[in-house]
Structure 1
Amino acid sequence: MIDAGHYLAQMRARAPLVQNITNYVAMNVMANIMLAIGASPAMAHAQGEAGEFAGLADALSVNIGTLDPDWVISMEEAARVMAQAGKPWVLDPVAVGATALRRDAGARLLALKPTIIRGNASEIIALAGANAAGKGADTADTVSNATGAAQTLARQTGGVVAVTGAVDYVTDGDAAYRIAGGHALMPRITALGCSLTGGVVAFAVDQPALPATVAALASYAVAGEMAGDAAKGPASFQVAFIDALYALTPADVTKRARITVA
């Protein structure tokens, strides 16, 4: 079984620089969450800079939440640099099935074979080309409904696909794991999923993508449970969650992670 705490310790020792081409809603929350867990975030998305910055970064997070055609070019530039350097990059296909612009961007980025794809069930189903029931960035599909699409995408890209929800599902197209935990308030706070995407790729720096992704999701889930003990509602939960990530120890994660082979 995967020792999730080990991967948390490795990531913190490395303190990787992660370039995030993410959405306007997520930037501040994501930066604070990544700092709390032990990574070093940078938000660099401008054309003419994104590819150059990718050469400096240890990993890349791409999120299409507040999409712009110019940003897609930057995303492709940075992803190509990462691929050529053999460094990990993750795609977060927010609401990928909602509009033609998003479907086109998703297809273009998928063709660049991300190391990891992280999304909710509806996003993973839509990215795989099937009919999803999601509305905007929200999912109307269950994680179980998306396991086949996740396996298809993993085999297509040669990477890892994480479907996040009440119980997460992670696969490389062959092996698969489920991760339970977290807290019911987590979906009530915008950008927590986007922030998780950056954390996932931070864990994957210099580590195998499958166990690193599982460990990142398990760490997030344990921190969510810890934050839930202190929170009175969504606003206090966000603060408590950042504090919980900062205080989280590898021993906490190893002891409390609920990881099963799927």
Structure 2
Amino acid sequence: MHVIFQPAEERGFDSGAQRMVAEGLFDRFPCDAVFAMHNHPGRPCGQLMSRRDQFMAAGDRVFITVRGVGGYVARPHLTQDPVVGAASIIIALQTVVARNVPPDQTAVITIGMLQGGKALNIIPAEVQLGLSMRSFDPAIRALLRQRITDIVQLQSASLGLSAEIHYVEGYLVVCNSEAETTLVLQVAAELVGEDNVDGEMDLLTGSEDFAYMLQARPGCLIRIGNGEAPQANKMLHNSGYDFNDNNLVLGAAYWSRLVERCRSPRARCRC
């Protein structure tokens, strides 16, 4: 058994797990299977959740710079305003999922960064946008890239602006393997009872670089409930997030039981 410390998971690309696998993690520390646990606000503390096959989304990043001609706000006709261009791009991007992605497919486009200008009386020369995309299907992933690229370039050109796009393919889809997920759910049921285990959790549009380890070895990621209100109102990536200390006991018990079961001759996977 090996305990893997996974650095730089939140980077979104060129992450810790990706680098570790590429640099021979499983050659130096052989593993037949890998397992991970992730906190999940909004579900009661004491519940464990997972699913077979696809579980968490692929995640990509786009960094966009919209360039124009800055100047005095009182004479906007002498400028080419990238703020207006960025606003136009943001609105147009909202149509991609709504009008280009089939309704039975899952996709997310979120603009998480908008930076431009420092003074109220100056139109800046450039504005920067940062986007995050999530998807499960390779064709949808390619569609998002094409539509985002087209919209950014065409919206910018229509306003006499230019745009530079830096598209970064990020994490893979998290795919839990069959035998390892079955074992994980059995262990979870032994600890908290079947009523507190959800083995068919909905697809999650969050991304996780544990996907790179699952690409190299079979395994399973499980979620542990962090609690409902007030924790449910303080979701992940929120400044008010509060880890539920009661999870320490359950989490430790889960890992201990999983190791015991993996070492048992009755286990379906070789850990």
The structure where helix makes up a greater share of residues is: 1
Scaled to the shorter chain, the TM-score interval is under 0.3
Higher RCO structure (Cα 8 Å, ≥6 apart): 2
The structure where strand makes up a greater share of residues is: 2
Q: Which of structures 1 and 2 has the bigger CA Rg? A: 2
TM-score (ref. length: structure 2): 0.27
TM-score (ref. length: structure 1): 0.28
